[in-house]
């Protein structure tokens, strides 16, 4: 299992447009082979920053998803609302513990 973390800074005033496009993309990801989980984080001290944490069975599953029409469809919308996009950071998931109350 692999987790990828990406960080983006949204253009001022474009937060709603970015979030709409992101939610479309996230809904499409859920149906993809290898998709496990997704989190969208906003740092409390950086309200225009978005940190996306995606977990996939393999990196190849994630790469295949990036080549799909569903992913590409939102690329232009997200790019237009993005001020700065950071690179990806990959992690091998060694252990995962989830609360049964979650």
pLDDT on residue 73: 87
Beta strands in 42-81 (DSSP E): 49-56
- Distance, CA of 13 to CA of 6 (rounded, Å): 21
- Tell me, yes or no, whether 49 lies in a domain: no
Range of the domain at 12: 2-44+61-87
Average pLDDT estimate for 19-40:
94
Number of domains in the chain: 1
- Tell me, yes or no, whether 14 lies in a domain: yes
- Tell me, yes or no, whether 18 lies in a domain: yes
- Tell me, yes or no, whether 77 lies in a domain: yes
pLDDT on residue 102: 65
- Tell me, yes or no, whether 6 lies in a domain: yes
pLDDT on residue 86: 85
pTM value? 0.89
- Tell me, yes or no, whether 23 lies in a domain: yes
pLDDT on residue 100: 86
Q: What is the per-residue pLDDT across 45-80, written as a single tens digit (0 to 9) for each?
A: 999 999 999 999 999 999 999 999 889 889 889 999
- Tell me, yes or no, whether 100 lies in a domain: no
């Amino acid at each position: 299992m692999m987790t990828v973390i990406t960080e983006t800074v949204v253009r001022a005033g474009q937060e709603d447009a970015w979030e709409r496009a992101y939610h479309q993309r996230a809904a499409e990801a859920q149906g993809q082979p290898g998709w496990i989980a997704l989190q969208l984080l906003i740092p409390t001290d950086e309200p225009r920053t978005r940190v996306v944490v995606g977990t996939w069975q393999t990196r190849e599953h994630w790469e295949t998803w990036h080549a799909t029409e569903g992913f590409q469809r939102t690329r232009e919308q997200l790019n237009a609302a993005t001020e700065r996009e950071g690179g990806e950071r990959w992690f091998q998931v060694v252990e995962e513990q989830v609360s049964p109350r979650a």
